[in-house]
């Protein structure tokens, strides 16, 4: 189990400070939901965690080692990243795309060893894509493609899994399936961070919620701590009702507040 920490991380994108002094300690075994309004810096933070954005200050530290000092291949084995709205340009078979998740292990997609094949099969099964193995990836629907790309990230079997809006394109059943997969991964010891826009799904599945607003962490805590009426008004600009019922915390966005 590898502790994953973000220490005093700031990121500048052009002239804009996208992230300001982010400190986070992400424990293995937990599913963290990263939430926040559009433009808050969620994708930038996830990309910085994956080593895809160079910080202006601070470090991303995995198991005591700054990831900037790790070889790219070691980092790719340790941190799997599912980008937002990823596409596929080539008509590779679905299993070939998922097998790309084994490249960080030095396993070539068309010559996977038994361990790699098992990982690819398990990943496809977990997102409900068994039977799709030989279909050209370009023939899948948007939601099927999103699940295939998640399967690719799962197939790496990295100790850290970062997913940018993994359920955005999915129907309700597949949203639940994917969040259950991410939760099960977390329970098996992986550090899972997922950007979610659906606050009710975040409340229901996340062990830990990080609310980002204008490049800063506003709240980092339990769903009850993060999803308060006052916080939703201040960060999302919405009047919301927050109640606790038999399904847990329920957030109803009632109306947009006038912008400040
Ligand atoms: N290359 C860039 N140059 C300048 N500003 C950028 C660049 N890339 C992103 N930004 C800005 O940085 C801010 C953070 O962007 P980011 O994509 O991290 O937000 P987000 O919270 O993921 O938003 P969303 O919910 O809309 O996906 C935004 O205001 C965005 O316009």
Domain ranges of the chain: 4-221
22 Cβ inside 6 Å of ligand 1: no
Q: What angle do CA 140, 143, 146 make, to 5 degrees?
A: 90
Residue 136 CA to ligand 1 center (angstroms) comes to: 32
Q: Ligand 1: which atom is nearest the Cα of residue 197?
A: 25
- Distance from C-alpha of 52 to C-alpha of 219, rounded to nearest angstrom: 25
Asked whether residue 245 carries a pLDDT value surpassing 90, the answer given is no
Q: What is the pLDDT of residue 260?
A: 62
Each residue's pLDDT tens digit, 75-105 = 999 999 999 877 787 889 999 999 999 999 9
pLDDT at residue number 247: 83
Ligand 1 in contact with 14 (CB < 6 A)? yes
Which ligand 1 atom lies nearest to the CA of residue 41? Answer: 18
Report the side by side order of strands in the sheet with 191-195.
79-82, 160-164, 191-195, 31-35, 208-213, 216-221
- Does ligand 1 have an atom closer than 6 angstroms to the CB of 44? yes
Q: Is the Cβ–Cβ distance between 18 and 178 less than 8 Å?
A: no
pLDDT for the residue numbered 88 = 81
- Indicate whether residue 235 lines ligand 1 (CB < 6 A): no
Distance CA 150, CA 127 (A): 8
* Mean pLDDT computed over 19-42: 97
- Statement: 4-221 belongs to CATH 3.40.630.30: no
Residue-level pLDDT at 255: 95
- Give the closest residue (by CA) to ligand 1 atom 8: 13
3-state helix, strand, coil in the chain (%, to 5): 40, 30, 30
The label of the residue with tokens 């052009």 reads 14
* Tokens (6 digits) for 11: 């990121």
**Ligand 1 atom 4, closest CA:** 13
Per the CB < 8 A criterion, the answer to whether 62 and 79 are in contact is: yes
Q: Is the CB of 36 under 6 A from ligand 1?
A: yes
Cα angle 154, 160, 163 (rounded to 5 degrees) comes to 60
Phi and psi at 219, nearest 5°, equal -145, 145
Which residues, other chains included, contact 15 with Cβ-Cβ below 8 Å and sequence gap of 6+? none
How many angstroms separate the CA atoms of 104 and 74, rounded? 7
Ligand 1: residue whose CA is nearest its atom 30 = 39
85 Cβ inside 6 Å of ligand 1: no
pLDDT in tens, 134-157: 999 999 988 899 899 999 999 999
The predicted pLDDT at position 142 comes to 86
Output the CA 172–ligand 1 centroid distance in Å: 27
Here the ipTM equals 0.96
Residues 86 and 227: their CA atoms lie apart, in Å, by: 29
39 lines ligand 1 (CB under 6 A): yes
Give residue 130 CA to ligand 1 midpoint distance, Å.
35
Cβ–ligand 1 contact at 38 (below 6 Å): yes
Bridging pattern class, strands 4-13 and 248-256: unpaired
- What pTM does this model have? 0.95
pLDDT-derived band of residue 248, with 50, 70 and 90 as boundaries?
confident
């Amino acid at each position: 189990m590898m502790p994953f920490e973000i220490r005093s991380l700031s990121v500048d994108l052009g002239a804009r400070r996208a992230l300001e002094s982010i400190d986070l300690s992400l424990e293995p075994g937990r599913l963290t939901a990263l939430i926040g309004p559009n433009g808050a810096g969620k994708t930038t933070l996830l990309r910085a965690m994956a080593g895809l954005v160079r910080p202006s200050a601070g470090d991303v530290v995995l198991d005591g080692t700054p990831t900037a000092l790790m070889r790219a291949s070691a980092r790719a084995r340790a941190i799997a990243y599912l980008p937002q709205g990823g596409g596929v340009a080539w008509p590779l078979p679905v299993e070939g795309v998922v097998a790309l998740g084994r490249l960080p292990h030095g396993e070539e997609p068309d010559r996977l060893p038994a361990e790699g094949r098992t990982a690819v099969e398990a990943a496809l099964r977990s997102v409900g894509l068994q039977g799709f193995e030989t279909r050209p990836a370009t023939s899948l629907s948007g939601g099927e493609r999103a699940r295939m790309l998640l399967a690719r990230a799962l197939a790496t079997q990295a100790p850290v899994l970062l997913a940018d809006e993994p359920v955005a394109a999915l129907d309700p059943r597949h949203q639940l399936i994917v969040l259950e997969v991410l939760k099960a991964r977390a329970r098996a010891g992986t550090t899972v961070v997922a950007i979610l826009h659906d606050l009710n799904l975040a409340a229901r599945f996340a062990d830990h919620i990080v609310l980002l607003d204008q490049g800063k962490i506003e709240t980092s805590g339990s769903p009850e701590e993060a999803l308060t009426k006052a916080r939703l008004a201040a960060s999302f600009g919405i009047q919301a009702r927050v109640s606790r019922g038999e399904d847990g915390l329920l957030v109803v966005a009632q109306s947009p507040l006038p912008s400040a």
